[in-house]
Amino acid sequence: MTTSPRKVNLAEKFGLIEDAWNPRVAGDVNQFQVKLVKLRGSFVWHRHEAEDELFLVVAGRLRMRFRDRDEIVGPGEFIIVPHGVEHCPVADSDEVEVVLLEPATTLNTGDAEDPRRQPELERI
């Protein structure tokens, strides 16, 4: 069954999100999902054995920590974290709004056990 295409207003959707580190599904692209998430503070070190992740910063500044360096990602920039690479996202500003593009199977905490793990994502 095909659904009618609808545009997504990112500012409107991010306005509906109050909590941090809890991705919401905003759309589906084949076996991938477009997820929206707000980041505050630091997350957990983790890796995804099978999935690559794209982090597109809409607002704020993201520090993507890797074991050998940090990368700063600002509004209008993105970074792709290849599968198997250990990383730790950190909000380098009070709050960061991020669009994630990743396979639908991707768990936000990857291989790490953390109370912020979200096995079932809400649609927004």
- Return the pLDDT at 1: 55
Please tell me the distance from the alpha carbon of residue 4 to that of residue 96, in angstroms, as a whole number: 31
- Return the pLDDT at 108: 74
Q: Are strands 24-29 and 122-123 parallel, antiparallel or unpaired?
A: parallel
Is residue 30 in a domain?
A: yes
Question: Under a CB-based contact definition with an 8 Å cutoff, are residues 57 and 96 in contact?
Answer: yes
Question: What angle is formed at CA 115 by the lines to CA 105 and CA 29, rounded to 5 degrees?
Answer: 20
Domain extent, residue 32, equals 24-123
Is residue 86 in a domain?
A: yes
- Give Cα 122 to chain centroid, integer Å: 14
Q: What is the CATH number of the domain that holds 36?
A: 2.60.120.10
Q: Where are the alpha helices (DSSP H) in the chain?
A: 10-15
Residue ranges of the chain with per-residue pLDDT less than 50: none
- Return the pLDDT at 2: 63
Is residue 18 in a domain?
A: no
Is residue 82 in a domain?
A: yes
- Number of structural domains in the chain: 1
